[in-house]
């Protein structure tokens, strides 16, 4: 199958991220919604696939909303995963166009796999994308980055400000940024609101939320046990 990806970075940080993917084995792209991290990751994956530098693409993300219990959802595995991987599919369509993207998505070149199914595998000669990585646990992130096989690239994208994990659960993305920062052939690239390319309003929305969160910080995450209604009443009596 002939693949002709149209690749054009729209900011300096996107360009640095794209170059970093070529230069490293595991590359992290961290930034807000619309900053192009997923689009750049997919574009570089299609470029390497077109140049036959990898044999397949492996797309995955944590299905936090389903509690990773995809077996209880109706439909085939792909039908279960489609809603969770929609941003990656949209990026492929944007780069290749609808017709070519449809052919690629229906071929055996792209493997769609739940993060929960990655344990015990070694992903060789593949371009692996883990999207929405802020929703991984520390154990899931460690498991994922150790799946890398010979001849493969791994790109991990996420937004630290949009985690869906429980409040007392540490994000695997933030943990990895501390643990892997000085590991050879692993690089982190950060994007910000200046890289947002979706719509001018998105930048304004991100600014508004950033300002609000700076003025109204949330309580620190912790393991404090929630009081029962009876305990609440007793404390009020005291």
Decide: 151 and 125 in contact? Cβ < 8 Å. Answer: yes
Closest alpha carbon to 144 in 226, 58, 55: 58
pLDDT at 170: 92
More confident residue, 232 or 42: 42
The H-or-E segment that residue 96 falls in is: helix 77-96
Residue 221 clears pLDDT 80, i.e. is over it: no
Confidence class of residue 8 from pLDDT cuts 50, 70 and 90?
A: confident
pLDDT at 218: 73
Measured at the CA of 160, the angle between CA 206 and CA 227, to 5 degrees, comes to 105
What is the value of pTM for the model shown? 0.79
Q: Could you tell me which CATH number the domain at 12-218 has?
A: 3.40.50.300
The CA distance from 144 to 201, in Å, is: 35
Alpha-carbon distance values, 99 to 56, 71, 82, 91, 93 (Å): 19, 31, 18, 14, 8
The domain limits of the chain are 12-218
pLDDT tens digit string along 103-161? Answer: 888 888 998 888 888 889 999 999 999 999 999 999 999 999 999 999 999 999 999 98
pLDDT at 16: 95
- The helix-helix angle for 12-23 and 37-50 (nearest 10°) equals 40
pLDDT at 225: 46
The CA distance from 130 to 15, in Å, is: 20
More confident residue, 234 or 108: 108
pLDDT tens digit string along 38-53? Answer: 999 999 999 999 999 9
pLDDT at 237: 47
Per the structure block, which two tokens stand in for 137?
A: 């646990």
CA 126 to chain centre: 17
pLDDT at 20: 97
CA 30 to chain centre: 9
Radius of gyration of the chain (CA): 20
CA 124 to chain centre: 20
pLDDT tens digit string along 147-200? Answer: 999 999 999 999 998 888 888 889 999 999 999 999 999 999 999 888 876 667
- The helix-helix angle for 77-96 and 98-105 (nearest 10°) equals 140
């Amino acid at each position: 199958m002939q693949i002709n990806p149209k690749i054009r970075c729209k900011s300096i940080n996107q360009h640095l991220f794209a170059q970093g993917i070529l230069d490293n084995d595991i590359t992290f792209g961290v930034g807000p919604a619309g900053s192009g991290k997923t689009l750049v990751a997919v574009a570089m994956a299609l470029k390497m696939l077109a140049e036959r530098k990898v044999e397949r693409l492996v797309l995955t993300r944590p299905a936090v909303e389903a509690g990773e219990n995809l077996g209880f959802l109706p439909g085939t595995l792909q039908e279960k995963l489609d809603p969770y991987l929609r941003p990656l599919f949209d990026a492929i369509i944007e780069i290749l166009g609808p017709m070519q993207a449809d052919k690629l998505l229906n071929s055996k070149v792209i493997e769609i796999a739940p993060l929960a199914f990655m344990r015990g595998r070694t992903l060789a000669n593949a371009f692996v994308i883990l999207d929405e990585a802020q929703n991984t646990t520390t154990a899931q992130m460690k498991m994922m980055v150790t799946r890398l096989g010979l001849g493969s690239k791994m790109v991990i994208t996420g937004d630290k400000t949009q985690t869906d994990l429980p409040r007392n659960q540490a994000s695997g993305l933030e943990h990895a940024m501390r643990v892997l920062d000085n590991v050879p052939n692993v690089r982190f690239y950060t994007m910000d609101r200046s890289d947002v390319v979706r719509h001018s309003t998105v930048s304004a929305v991100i600014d508004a939320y950033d300002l609000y969160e700076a003025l109204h910080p949330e309580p620190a995450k912790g393991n404090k046990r929630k009081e029962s209604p009876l305990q609440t009443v007793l404390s009020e009596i005291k």
